[in-house]
Structures are given as structure tokens and as C-alpha cells.
Amino acid sequence: NAGVTQTPKFRILKIGQSMTLQCAQDMNHNYMYWYRQDPGMGLKLIYYSVGAGITDKGEVPNGYNVSRSTTEDFPLRLELAAPSQTSVYFCASSRHPSAKNIQYFGAGTRLSVL
């Protein structure tokens, strides 16, 4: 089972460049999330989606955009990359929104902005 697939695994950007981090899940989950993980810190929520066409901000949304045109895909867009966005990005999905639902994570994308 593929689960949650993130691409690319690694990327180096120059300041001001843009890129899209891809996330796809094959579990037919309605709920999808983007987190960032900074060194020595836990994961912080950037954006989440409750279904196709519906997205909402998390704790740290500034500098990012998302879209959800299909149930399977939830790309994260960085328009003007800044050094502060150097981080590891994780995409996750869950079947339902309720607190008990387990979130399943992708392998992460390591991004450096220089």
C-alpha cells in the first residue's frame, strides 16, 4: 500500500523562488494536512483540508498556499521562498476529522532555502 506519498524528498531553493510540494494519498481519506518540522521542535500545522474544494489555515500559514481539487491530492505552494521556510514538510491524511482519528504521514520533504 502506497499510503501518503510526498514528492520531492529533497529540494534546495534560492530566496524568492517558488515551488510546489506534492502530496497524494490513496486511502480515500477526506482529511489532509500539511505540517512543518523545524529542528528540535514538534510539528506545526500549516494548512488542512476537510475535502475537495475546502481548505483552512493552521497555526503557521503565512508564506504558503494550498489547493484541494481532488480527494487524493493536496499540494502546498511556496510563492516567494524565504530562509525561514527551511524545514521538513510533512503531509498527513485521516479518514475523519474527529479527534480519535489516526493521522497517517508521508515520508517528508526536506527543503532548504539559501
56 vs 79 by CB, closer to other proteins: 56
To which residue does cell 489555515 refer? 57
How far is residue 40's CA from residue 6's CA, in Å, rounded to a whole number?
A: 22
How far is residue 5's CA from residue 22's CA, in Å, rounded to a whole number?
A: 8
Three cell numbers, residue 39:
529542528
Stretch that binds other proteins, among 19-27, 42-50, 60-68, 75-83 (CB under 8 A): 42-50
Q: Does 2 bind other proteins (CB under 8 A)?
A: no
Shortest CB 80 distance to other proteins, Å: 26
- Helical H segments across the chain, by residue range: none
Stretch that binds other proteins, among 13-21, 61-69, 76-84, 92-100 (CB under 8 A): 92-100
Q: Which residues bind other proteins (CB under 8 A)?
A: 31, 33, 40-45, 48, 50, 56, 58, 88, 90, 92, 94, 97-100, 102-108, 110
